[in-house]
Amino acid sequence: MKIAALQMVSTPEPAANLAAARRLIAQAAAAGAELVALPEYFCLMGRRDTDKLALAEDAPDAGGAPAAGPIQQALSRAAAEHGIWLIGGTLPLRVIGDDGQPRTDRVTNTTLVFDPQGRVAARYDKIHLFRFDDGIHRHDEAATLQAGTRPAAFTATDRAGGTWRIGLSICYDLRFPELYRHLSHPDHGGPCDLLACPAAFTYPTGQAHWSLLLRTRAVENQCYMLAPAQGGQHDNGRRTWGHSLIADPWGEVLAEQAEGEGVVLAELKRERIDQVRRQLPALTHRVLG
């Protein structure tokens, strides 16, 4: 199955970001991708951390119908139009407070997955919230985000009838191997064939650790890694690392784009997963956890 990681340089203008996402999705689908993934915050890179609060949408319903918000509707239409599985980067969803009303100070940073009919097939709320301060760059996601509590994976069926188990994660989650071990544990439905990690890594942390961590997660879980990212200089003054990539179960980078908008393509091969797990059956040698 051919897959695609979309790299964006999102702006503070949601309409412009949605237009760019639609264009890139169409480009990936035209190249034969059956599964396409957008980066974290594809819909908004705000001038202030609080900008995402005003953009928040209601959660999709339990039956898989997306909420009426423009972001979910655009993603649902794109998936159905092109007949693809679409990992919708991340978008802010409203948090319901103890009083039954939406909170105005917190949202979730959520990945929604859409099937080829445009239905919501999976939801994952980012569990690990990023905090960083090197004296120049400061970030604290907990100021506006409510952390998720549940890992999530889904099964995608390709056009040839093959099935692929895909684990979800977001950006800072990449630093926590226990999340991926949980997703790949036999008791939790594993192992995964593919791990997805939409991201907006900062330039200094990305330069130091991005590729290293992605390749490590692929190697230790003996599966493919799909990592769509924000990559470039944003209107809000922030610079993200980019280097969207796809890595195979041996840690080999199959395709990568350093900076700027683009489509990164590669092919999932069942025989490659089987080969790696057969020649080095590390997943069967696990003792702890």
Using CA atoms, how far apart are residues 10 and 2, in angstroms rounded to an integer? 25
Q: Which token pair is 272?
A: 């490659």
Q: Give the DSSP H/E element, type plus range, for residue 44.
A: none
Above 90 in pLDDT, residue 110?
Answer: yes
Using CA atoms, how far apart are residues 194 and 243, in angstroms rounded to an integer? 18
What is the torsional sign of CA 250, 254, 257, 263? negative
Question: Alpha-carbon Rg of the chain, whole angstroms?
Answer: 18
Q: Where are the domains of the chain?
A: 2-285
Instruction: State how far the alpha carbon of 215 is from the alpha carbons of 54, 110, 171, 225, 253, in Å.
Output: 36, 24, 14, 8, 8
Q: Which token pair is 271?
A: 């025989």
Catalytic (active site) residue 223: no
Which residues are registered as beta bridge partners of 68? none
87 alpha carbon, distance to own chain's centre? 6
- Region 100-129: mean pLDDT is 97
Percent of the chain with pLDDT over 90: 91
The reported pLDDT for the residue numbered 208 is: 97
The reported pLDDT for the residue numbered 244 is: 98
The reported pLDDT for the residue numbered 204 is: 94
| Cβ–Cβ under 8 Å, residues 270 and 162 | yes
* pLDDT digit string, tens, across residues 199-220: 999 999 999 999 999 999 999 9
Using CA atoms, how far apart are residues 116 and 104, in angstroms rounded to an integer? 33
Pairing of strands 163-168, 194-196: parallel
- Could you give the 3-state DSSP secondary structure of residue 288? coil
Q: Read off the pTM.
A: 0.97
Above 90 in pLDDT, residue 35?
Answer: yes
Specify the amino acid at residue 87: I
Q: How confident is the model at residue 133 (pLDDT cuts 50, 70, 90)?
A: confident
Helix 203-221, helix 177-184: angle, nearest 10? 30
Catalytic (active site) residue 2: no
Q: How confident is the model at residue 257 (pLDDT cuts 50, 70, 90)?
A: very high
Using CA atoms, how far apart are residues 203 and 232, in angstroms rounded to an integer? 9
Catalytic residue among 126, 141, 192, 197: 126
User: Which parts of the chain are beta strand (E)?
Assistant: 2-7, 35-37, 85-87, 91-96, 102-114, 120-125, 131-133, 138-140, 153-157, 163-168, 194-196, 224-227, 244-247, 253-257, 262-267
| Cβ–Cβ under 8 Å, residues 170 and 126 | yes
Using CA atoms, how far apart are residues 55 and 109, in angstroms rounded to an integer? 12
DSSP conformation letters of 84-99: -EEE---EEEEEE-TT
Q: Which residue has the higher pLDDT, 172 or 187?
A: 172
Q: How confident is the model at residue 180 (pLDDT cuts 50, 70, 90)?
A: very high
Pick the CATH number of 2-285 from 3.10.20.340, 1.10.10.10, 3.60.110.10, 3.20.20.140: 3.60.110.10
Catalytic residue among 171, 192, 197, 223: 171
Using CA atoms, how far apart are residues 33 and 53, in angstroms rounded to an integer? 33
The reported pLDDT for the residue numbered 262 is: 98
Average pLDDT, the chain: 96
Pairing of strands 262-267, 2-7: antiparallel
